[in-house]
Amino acid sequence: MLRVLYIADVNMFANNGGGLCNLSCYNAVCKIFPENVDLMHAEEYIPLNYNNINIIPVPRMSNLHRGFNLIRGRIHRLNPFAIKYITKNYTKYSLCIINGGITAGDMIDKIKSLGLKTVVIHHNFETDYQIFNKTLMSFYGLMPYYIIRNEKKAFLKADINYFLTSYDKIKFYESYGLPLGLCDIIGCFETCDKQMDLNNFYSEPKTIVISGSLNFRQTTDGIIDFFKNYYSDAINLDPNIKVLITGRNPVKAILELKNEFDNIEICINPENINSIVQRGCIYLCPISAGGGIKLRIMDGLRLGLPILTHEKSVRGYESFLNKKYFKTYKDLDTFKKSFKDLMNLIEMKKNDNFQIQQDYLDTYSFNAGVKRFEKLLNQYKK
């Protein structure tokens, strides 16, 4: 068969949600098409010790060139580099997989005109995400025109659209209409097929753990909202309950929480975040804004922790809503009830950590993800 070109728009070697999800998809493609995948990736993202020879590095772009591109409506650095490369080398490939509708949108017409089948992986509904986070692509939240243009075109014209959540898939249909190609939900999954210790449980009694990038607006807004609107009325009534916050590079507002509230521990930039997360008896995800799947909930499930999450962060975890260890909330009353239910579960020793991990593996293991990814790609294996 001819080769597959995988175009990655975000740093898939970074230890964050976007990077890990991108790496999972890339590794799945390599498993499905062994030794037939080329990776196009920004040159500065590629680790020095990475020995994969099938890499097409995308050179850096000067600030002047980047600004000129923005004015022209090119909101990512891969255009025109990718177009020039594919035009010159299209006879090598039969399939082009592009991570992100923003990246795919202004290139998909040219790629398809050269006879390549196209797959686009959508991590979230980009318009909402980019505006909320006031990114440069959205001109700091003021003008999402180019984002909408690219994402819409990618969705409508791709041969296959993959989504991480059913919410995103529905949102695309409602916003952009009926696509020409096929659509499916692949969710998130582990980055590789690795053995997991399913019996290594350790938690500190009455410890709630929160994790994430502590300088990322979605995370910081959610944590601050939790302490402002829930903590004193629902958590701090019991002096034995502690909240453990861990993650990278906390902003000042997060660090100052220790001065305003009792029983808080903040673990900054841990070498092994799992060793911190597993200290909790309940994993809390208080994020109430933004789109896409919140991968941090996977960390809690992987370690066998019961989950308490804001209902806005349930996307991608709908299959867990019927589990007794997975609770949601939308306001103070529902938070109190869900928190009480989980604490009762733990105190009565009816919380099965092993079952939580097993449920996690059934849905989010690498092999489970590969099967979902491969479902529609089978037609392009010839």
Kindly write down the DSSP assignment for every residue of 280-337, as one continuous string. Answer: -SEEEE---S--S--THHHHHHHTT--EEEEGGG-TT-GGGTTSTTEEEESSHHHHHH
pLDDT at 198 over 60: no
**Could you tell me the pLDDT band of residue 57, with boundaries at 50, 70 and 90?**
very high
Confirm if 246 and 266 have CB atoms less than 8 A apart: yes
Which two structure tokens, joined as six digits, stand for 50?
A: 């990475």
Q: Please, what's the b/e burial string for 321-356 (b: 16 or more CB within 10 A of its CB; e: otherwise)?
A: eeeebbbbbeeeeebbebbeebbebbeeeebebeeb
The mean per-residue pLDDT over the stretch 127-138 comes to 66
Q: Identify the sign of the CA torsion 111, 116, 121, 122.
A: positive
Show the 3-state SS of 341-352: HHHHHHHCCCCC
Site of tokens 């097409």: 56
Query: Which class would CATH give 207-362?
Result: alpha beta
Q: How far apart are the first and last CA of the chain?
A: 6
Q: How far apart are CA 289 and CA 279, in angstroms?
A: 26
Same CATH topology for 3-193+365-380 and 207-362: the answer is yes
pLDDT at 175 over 80: yes
pLDDT in tens, 67-83: 556 656 566 789 889 99
Q: Identify the sign of the CA torsion 276, 282, 287, 290.
A: positive
pLDDT at 140 over 60: no
Confirm if 121 and 97 have CB atoms less than 8 A apart: yes
35-39, 186-190, 235-239, 300-304, range with the lowest pLDDT: 235-239
The mean per-residue pLDDT over the stretch 298-302 comes to 94
Q: How far apart are CA 79 and CA 102, in angstroms?
A: 11
Q: How far apart are CA 202 and CA 58, in angstroms?
A: 44
The DSSP annotation for 33-98 comes to STT-EEEEEEGGGS-TT---S-EEEEPP--HHHHHHHHHTT--STTTTHHHHHHHHHGGGEEEEEE
Confirm if 73 and 57 have CB atoms less than 8 A apart: no
Tell me the chain's radius of gyration from C-alpha atoms. 22
Which residues have CB under 8 Å from 2's CB, separation 6+? 36, 92, 93, 94, 95
Which residues have CB under 8 Å from 99's CB, separation 6+? 6, 7, 8, 9, 10, 12, 22, 25, 121, 123
pLDDT at 193 over 70: yes
The mean per-residue pLDDT over the stretch 112-122 comes to 97
Q: How is the chain split into domains, by residue range?
A: 3-193+365-380, 207-362
- CATH number for the domain running over 3-193+365-380: 3.40.50.2000
Query: How much of the chain exceeds pLDDT 70, in percent?
Result: 90
Q: How far apart are CA 277 and CA 43, in angstroms?
A: 33
The per-residue pLDDT for 60 is: 86
CA proximity to 377, closest of 25, 11, 19: 25
Query: How much of the chain exceeds pLDDT 90, in percent?
Result: 70
The mean per-residue pLDDT over the stretch 303-321 comes to 94
Cα separations (Å) of 306 from 46, 241, 295, 340, 360?
36, 16, 15, 12, 12
Q: Half-sphere exposure of residue 107, counting CA atoms within 13 Å on the CB side?
A: 31
The mean per-residue pLDDT over the stretch 273-288 comes to 93
CA proximity to 2, closest of 117, 107, 157: 117
